[in-house]
Structure 1
Amino acid sequence: MAHNRYREAQPSGENTIVDAEIAQLTEAGVEVLPFLRSSDEIPSMSKAAKALLPISPIWAPKAQQDLGRLLDEHRPDVLHLHNPYPLLSPWVVRTAHRHGVPVVQTVHNYRQVCSSGLYFRDGVICQDCRGRALGVPAIVHRCYRGSRAQSALMATTLAVHRPTWRSVDRFIALTSAVADHLRDYGVPDERIVVKPNAVGDPGVPAPLGDGFLFMARLSPEKGLDLLLEAWRRHPVGALGQLRVAGDGELRPLVEAAAAERADVTYLGQLDRAGVRAALSASAVVLATSTWHDVLPTVIIEALASGRPVLGTALGGIPYLVGADAPREPAGTGPAFAASAVAGHVPPPAGPPALLAGLVTGEAGWVVPPDAAALAAALPVARAGAPRLAATARSRYERTFHPDVVIKQHLDIYAALTRKGGVE
């Protein structure tokens, strides 16, 4: 299991998922050899190692040497890659293939094409580099770490490793929207499997609390500013309490909101016990991303705790709450579902209550990423939470429980090992 961990100072659902996946596979009887690096290692590296950092996304020679020794010693059946940047490099795919080991990669973002991995720039969705041999717009706009030089390096890395990515034996797409992204990139259908992540079962849900919980990295693409704008459209206390957990560059926004309004509480960065307490205290979890968020772990945690979710109709959020094929309101039809997943939501026909584009799914609601639409949906979600709490938990048990997902996971590995090596 190969993964370059994101900095611990920035909450990472991907780090959480990798840790959980290792534990779940081990519990299922799989021998897992973690091949992990962390971006937190960079400040303490030697001068010589730091001098090689600029080429690490392309090659990372020490990582290839270490991986080669690991593969020679243990001869694993499969190498499963998550994030390779910056200390592993996509070159680990070539290293594994040279040793006759097939490669699976879980796709957590859009970095086959986009230097930032988000399809998001300057507060809006951006796909300017899609279809280009070299992502020149990413360089012009300093999309990687705010640096033109580093953006040039990442854009070059993506161009160099296009054949590398297309050689991966099996991609795990976390939703059908990610599968579409991979097909657009040129990956054939037979190399793509749609399989969501799982989170551990917290047990019987606590009785429903009150108010709302927003729990995410406090960065622009997660939609904290959108949420606060919508929240301010209601009188103080009208919706219960808004609890915000997490940390990041937009922390001053929520601190100011908490100072301004008695119905906003900033919880800071929470440990696991704090997360469970915050979920128990709340009735609805919010996922107000303004980018095509792939598969927010917080939503699966919410469903596991029997908390319905109000989110934006972008990326994997409609799929997670069961609103990608909406049951109600009647008459919105499959065209709405397709456009919601794509992030373009047409106004539905119907009475005025539907004009905000609100769609109810099995385990929550989705709306367009618009402050007025979100503001209109907040009281609907608060009132409807008791009705959807049980179905939220049921959706988790059927779709995102480790017992369900790990079987799909093992089937993916087995299909590759039955072929006797690299395809």
Structure 2
Amino acid sequence: MKIVVAHNRYREAQPSGENTMVDSEIAQLTAAGVEVLPFIRSSDEIPSMSRAAKALLPISPIWAPRAQDDLSRLLREHRPDVLHLHNPYPLLSPWVVRTAHRHGVPVVQTVHNYRQVCSSGIYFRDGMICQDCKGRALGVPAIVHKCYRGSTAQSALMATTLAVHRGTWRSVDRFIALTSAIADHLRDYGVPADRIVVKPNSVPDPGAPALLGDGFLYMARLTPEKGLDLLLEAWRRHPVGALGTLRVAGDGELRPLVEAAAAERPDVVYLGQLDRAGVRAAVEASAVVIAASMWHDVLPTVIIEALASGRPVLGTALGGIPYLVGADAPHEPAGTGPATVASAVAGQLPPPAGPSGVPAGLVTGEAGWVVPPDPVAMAAALPVARAGAPALAAAARARYERTFHPDVVIKRHLDIYAALAAPTRP
């Protein structure tokens, strides 16, 4: 089987879980005997482009003529079975879907964000969840609020791109939704359910879990939507040392917040940006991993890393986080279930009063806990998670083995390709 993997890499200066997942996926497919034909561009190429190429950049998200020519040559020469698209912006353009179809090649796309609708891709603006462009023919609010790279002109271009390519996206032969929440997003966008497959990413198996460490690990881009400030506010509600150590890994614009917290409290340690060995060491040193996202985070890779190492997860009840920890369909006492938590998140009612000893709004899943994205709720959940980690450690590893292990995921991946690969080509 021949598969073209098409992806516009994000800048290497901005760590990208999507880049990492694409690289890992290519390696897994190759190991499974698939002939992978990478069709890769990188945003790091832009500064070194010729003046003529840079002149075409404004239209690249819509069309990208050079990429279409290069892709056509690749398709004619190799006659692949499927084109698998990840991120098309800005140098590939969704037009690659049309180019592939013109050559009789079916298209699979893995949906990593909400950019069918949202110009920034994350449904988050000015410190809160925003879906103002949802249901609009043209995302005028994105232009008004400069949602794409803080620029009115670039936001107008991206909003126009999304409007132009609405039909393009709906022509994709199969969408891979990384979680059930993304599947819901695609159905709401108008994609038929029979063209959506829920298949998460995976991470390599680190082997038998080490004994639980102590304390917590937060590992993410240090940006507002990832909830660092929420977590630090929750942490400060406890006496120094009461919860063990809070380890923070990553880099970004909010780095001064964690540096100040580490200078203020000895139970906060800033680890900086970690390599693979550093990630594993930080996970093993901890008992619980935290995903404090303030947006509908699609599939935080750190959660799968945690489960693989037998570490339960405390997360916010947004996006794919409940799915990852097995809390999207829990059996909880009345007043603490997902619908009630979702209402509290939306601000429709205060966090519900849970049963005796259970923090308000806390939902326990197979491999962790979720709470509303609120510092009070997070503060109440922290000691519960620390105390409950030993009981959920084995379940966390079992969930990884059953749902997120590479052997499981790659089989589902190949089944998706096989269902689309045509026996003949025009």
* TM-score (norm. length: structure 2): 0.95
Q: Match of 2:32?
A: 28
Q: Match of 2:93?
A: 89
Residue 188 to residue 135, structure 1, CA distance change in 2 (3 Å): same
The 5 A counterparts of 1:196-275 are: 196-275=200-279
Report SS of the residue matched to 1:32: strand
- The alignment's C-alpha RMSD in Å is 1.9
Pairing partner for 1:373 from 377, 396, 407? 377
Deviations 1:188-226 (A, max 9, x none): 111111111111111111111111111111111100111
Q: Match of 2:14?
A: 10
**1:345 Cα deviation from its structure 2 partner:** 8.3
Q: Match of 1:300?
A: 304
Residue 419 to residue 379, structure 1, CA distance change in 2 (3 Å): farther
Number of equivalences: 422
Q: Match of 1:56?
A: 60
Which is worse superposed, 183-192 or 287-296?
A: 183-192
CA distance in 2 between counterparts of 1:119 and 1:215 reads 21
**1:330 Cα deviation from its structure 2 partner:** 6.3
State the identity %. Answer: 87
Unaligned 5+ runs, structure 1? none
Corresponding letter in the other structure for 1:163: G
Corresponding letter in the other structure for 1:203: G
**1:237 Cα deviation from its structure 2 partner:** 1.1
Pairing partner for 2:420 from 413, 416, 422? 416
Corresponding letter in the other structure for 2:303: I
Unaligned 5+ runs, structure 2? none
CA distance in 1 between counterparts of 2:28 and 2:354 reads 46
Report SS of the residue matched to 1:298: helix
**1:61 Cα deviation from its structure 2 partner:** 1.2
**1:336 Cα deviation from its structure 2 partner:** 4.2
Residue 346 to residue 401, structure 1, CA distance change in 2 (3 Å): farther
Pairing partner for 1:278 from 260, 276, 282? 282
Q: Is the 8 A contact 1:304 1:393 kept in 2?
A: yes
Pairing partner for 2:175 from 165, 171, 177? 171
Residue 32 to residue 55, structure 1, CA distance change in 2 (3 Å): same
Residue 340 to residue 67, structure 1, CA distance change in 2 (3 Å): farther
Pairing partner for 2:404 from 385, 400, 416? 400
Corresponding letter in the other structure for 2:95: W
Q: Match of 2:355?
A: 351
**1:341 Cα deviation from its structure 2 partner:** 9.9
Q: Match of 1:182?
A: 186
Tell me which stretches of 4 or more aligned residues in structure 1 moved more than 3 Å.
327-350, 352-355, 418-422
Deviations 1:45-66 (A, max 9, x none): 2222111111111111111111
Corresponding letter in the other structure for 2:145: H
**1:348 Cα deviation from its structure 2 partner:** 4.0
Q: Match of 2:132?
A: 128
Residue 358 to residue 411, structure 1, CA distance change in 2 (3 Å): same
1:137 aligns with 2:141: yes
Pairing partner for 2:117 from 84, 103, 113? 113
Report SS of the residue matched to 1:183: helix
